[in-house]
Structure 1
Amino acid sequence: MQASALFGGLCATRPFAAAAAARRAARHFSTARAQARKKVMFPGALTSEYSHELRFASSVQPIPTYQVMDTDGRVLDAANEPQVTREEAQAIYRNMLTLNAMDQVLYEAQRQGRISFYMTSFGEEALIGSAAALDAKDMVFGQYREAGVLLQRGFTLTQFMNQCYSNERDLGKGRQMPIHYGTKDLRFQTISSPLATQIPQAAGAAYALRREGSKQCVICYFGEGAASEGDFHAGLNMAATLGCPVIFYCRNNGYAISTPAVEQYRGDGIASRGIGYGIDTVRVDGNDIWAIYAATRAARRIAVEQNKPVLIEAMTYRVSHHSTSDDSSAYRSKKEVEDWSKRDNPIARMRAWLEQKGWWAQGDDAEISKSAKAEVLAAFAAAEKLKKPAIRHMFEDVYDEVPPALARERAEVEALLNKYPDYYQVNDYARN
């Protein structure tokens, strides 16, 4: 006899059995018992509690912004005094001044048509504090305003210039736009133009570190505009559910490419999204280098020791145009920019702190800035004289062995170059 027939026959001979079972189930899962239970038992929201009030949640308490020193460089709580040596602090400050000098030179060079593109870090120099808090073996995924991170990790001015000129000594072999830096030696993944693609990549790299048992972490930089991309949500959710040791560092400078924050999103900034994904989150004063330094050090401990992601939202202000392709006066007033520069300058705050410690004299800035600019100009001039990368690099580094179709293309290019060397200006390129 089939099971369905057997079940039907039993029910027919015992007409009250099903009803009795239903009554027992109803008593066990009664409304009264559910009302007495405070915690929700559904697997999708285990920390929620039952409520008898119909209420839509639209906001939470604003997340505070962690600050170590005020705009005059005074440490507000002695317990937060940075535990760094005089030499370490001075080196960080020199890098801030050097970054500023490099930005000025290369921005003007682009305006003169000597390089094709550039992005400055004016107003966001305190980001260097995050690099100072990392281990040299930690992996970095940047967006495109992290030159200060590279500078702090040891990238040389010559390497910066070679990349921006895409010359024969460019580590990227001339395949990237200017400021798309990358270096294996400093564990800095090459920057790519598409917005936010580095976020899920960083989560994946951090997961690999966890599986290796490495006591290192990944840090991933992006702006608040990138947090509107789908990759942001995919990356954070992946990191949270898999327990990836990654620090997500959001530079919230208020304007993304050209859109004010009030037009980008509602809610309490980007930090509240981290909490939504179950990620340990902190918001810091992004113009306070020591707040950034402390937050990044603490975030790194959580990531490495607990195998958990952390989100840092650094509140700052982009003084510069988004890039040399942007005119920020189209979406904000020049007066607003000038006021911000005077009211809250990361370099001025750091200098004031150093002076109060007796670690810097007022006249030192001019000398260091002059020296830094001279070094930048020397590296700039040297890079400008070098040839472009060898043409053969167009066909390398994709396949282990060059496939026949690509080999034919390479042969065609070589034939054209040999036939029309003046037209293709082959002397401008390094020899094969």
Structure 2
Amino acid sequence: MKFPIFQIVDENGRLVNERYSSQMTKELAKQFYYHMVRIRQFDRKAVSLQRQGRLGTYAPFAGQEASQVGSALALEKDDWIFPTYRDHGAALTFGAGMARTYLYWNGRVEGCVPEEGKKIFPPAVPIATQIPHAAGAAIAEKWKGTSNAVIAYFGDGATSEGDFHEGLNFASVFKAPVLFFNQNNGFAISVPVKKQMNSKTIAQKSVAYDIPGIRVDGNDIFAVYFQTKAWLDRARSGEGPALIEAVTWRAGAHTTADDPGKYRDQPESEAIGKRRDPILRVERFMKLNGFWDEDWAKSVTEEATNEVEQAVKEMENFPKPNVHDLFDHVFDQPTWNIANQKAQYLQFIGEGV
């Protein structure tokens, strides 16, 4: 009860928090809808490409669009994001290139390179390792005297890692302008939240570090956006970090290499995902408020589909990978053992050193 879930629009599209009524404009709703449809089309295509053998193992984010779009749109252009392997929706919304993002999922080093001028950390696959990095980047921005802030994304499983606690402690001590954004989607791969922690919420973990902890409905993009923006502004003002727990749902598998039916009732999970669908919620809100335009909605889907298809063409027409990338980017100066590995491999394939 000390950490209630903050909500502005309920599952039926009804406004339940009048405080924000004047800010719930048609333009804002359309912006939210556009970005969520865009990343959902990207996500669906990625799963399809993986099943066809045209993309590597992929981590889908279906059902978490509101958490990712709402938080990313609250950022300023010179801010930082530190994503996990499931936050490419947030990265795309913040300005990551779509073709490069597909390249990442094909194992290409080029997929880790952000667009010019964008501060997007390479997606962190090891759990929680990006959290101390985010805290460090935030304190560096503070020492440089900028007004730039940082978002660190992570899942519920990351809160069981030491890096989570170290990052929050460091940020708290130095009042770093960083927002720790947790997407609690119910499962750390196959382990449900109730089996990996005794805490009733993730937000309450903020108490140990004397920083604010907030729970939001992670499928209510309005709640996510306004709360993220407010706490980022607080961080910029010098008041330090906060922890947001966005309560959402992972409707599908952990990755395309996972079978969620082995550890949960998948038809029930999909029913929950459909009921909580963040895109349908915005659509219902727009219809209730006279903002909905069927032709416009179709054009949004068509535009997103065309962008996705063009990005796939660009990804598949990209020059073949350079085998040297396997060895040349591990350290600034190659160590003797990596140099030996490279020489042996090049000799094996007949390329020479």
Q: Cα distance, 1:189 vs. partner?
A: 0.4
Counterpart Cα distance in 2 of 1:194 and 1:160: 18
Q: Which residue of 2 aligns with 1:129?
A: 70
Q: Which residue of 2 aligns with 1:359?
A: 291
> What does 1:316-331 align with in structure 2 at a 5 Å threshold?
316-331=248-263
Q: Which residue of 1 aligns with 2:15?
A: 75
Counterpart Cα distance in 1 of 2:299 and 2:276: 23
Counterpart Cα distance in 1 of 2:209 and 2:336: 48
Whether 2:173 is the aligned partner of 1:260: answer no
> What does 1:338-417 align with in structure 2 at a 5 Å threshold?
338-397=270-329, 410=342, 413-417=345-349
Mapped contact 2:47–2:256 kept (Cα < 8 A) = yes
1:5-59 Cα distance to aligned partner (Å, 9 max, x none): xxxxxxxxxxxxxxxxxxxxxxxxxxxxxxxxxxxxxxxxxxxxxxxxxxxxxxx
Counterpart Cα distance in 2 of 1:404 and 1:184: 33
Distance 1:109 1:304, change over 3 A: same
> What does 1:96-107 align with in structure 2 at a 5 Å threshold?
96-107=36-47
Structure 2: where are the runs of 5+ without partners? none
> What does 1:264-303 align with in structure 2 at a 5 Å threshold?
264-303=196-235
1:218-259 Cα distance to aligned partner (Å, 9 max, x none): 110101111011111111111112211110001011112111
Greater shift, 70-79 or 387-396, is seen at: 387-396
Mapped contact 2:153–2:183 kept (Cα < 8 A) = yes
Counterpart Cα distance in 1 of 2:46 and 2:81: 23
Mapped contact 1:223–1:251 kept (Cα < 8 A) = yes
1:109-166 Cα distance to aligned partner (Å, 9 max, x none): 1122222211111111102001111111111111122122112112232222233234
Q: 1:110 aligns with which of 50, 63, 76?
A: 50
Distance 1:73 1:157, change over 3 A: same
Counterpart Cα distance in 1 of 2:59 and 2:293: 31
Letter in 1 for 2:17: D
Counterpart Cα distance in 2 of 1:405 and 1:321: 38
Answer 1 or 2: higher relative contact order, Cα 8 Å, separation at least 6: 2
Q: Cα distance, 1:414 vs. partner?
A: 4.6
Mapped contact 1:126–1:288 kept (Cα < 8 A) = yes
Q: Cα distance, 1:397 vs. partner?
A: 4.2
Q: Cα distance, 1:297 vs. partner?
A: 0.8
Letter in 1 for 2:48: E
Counterpart Cα distance in 2 of 1:326 and 1:335: 16
Distance 1:407 1:254, change over 3 A: closer
Whether 2:86 is the aligned partner of 1:145: answer yes
3-state secondary structure, aligned to 1:225: helix
Distance 1:336 1:205, change over 3 A: same
Letter in 1 for 2:47: Y
Mapped contact 2:56–2:107 kept (Cα < 8 A) = no
Letter in 1 for 2:77: A
Q: Which residue of 1 aligns with 2:105?
A: 164
Distance 1:80 1:72, change over 3 A: same
Q: CA RMSD in A?
A: 2.5
- Structure with larger Rg: 1
Counterpart Cα distance in 2 of 1:316 and 1:403: 44
Whether 2:313 is the aligned partner of 1:313: answer no
Q: Cα distance, 1:407 vs. partner?
A: 5.8
Structure 1: where are the runs of 5+ without partners? 1-60, 173-180, 421-432
1:366-402 Cα distance to aligned partner (Å, 9 max, x none): 4432442233123213322333222333343455566
Mapped contact 1:166–1:388 kept (Cα < 8 A) = no
Distance 1:361 1:283, change over 3 A: same
Share of identical aligned residues, percent? 35
Counterpart Cα distance in 2 of 1:107 and 1:257: 17
TM-score for both structures, normalised by structure 1? 0.75
Letter in 2 for 1:148: G
3-state secondary structure, aligned to 2:50: helix
Q: How many residues are paired up?
A: 352
Counterpart Cα distance in 2 of 1:356 and 1:373: 27
Letter in 2 for 1:145: R
Mapped contact 1:92–1:152 kept (Cα < 8 A) = no
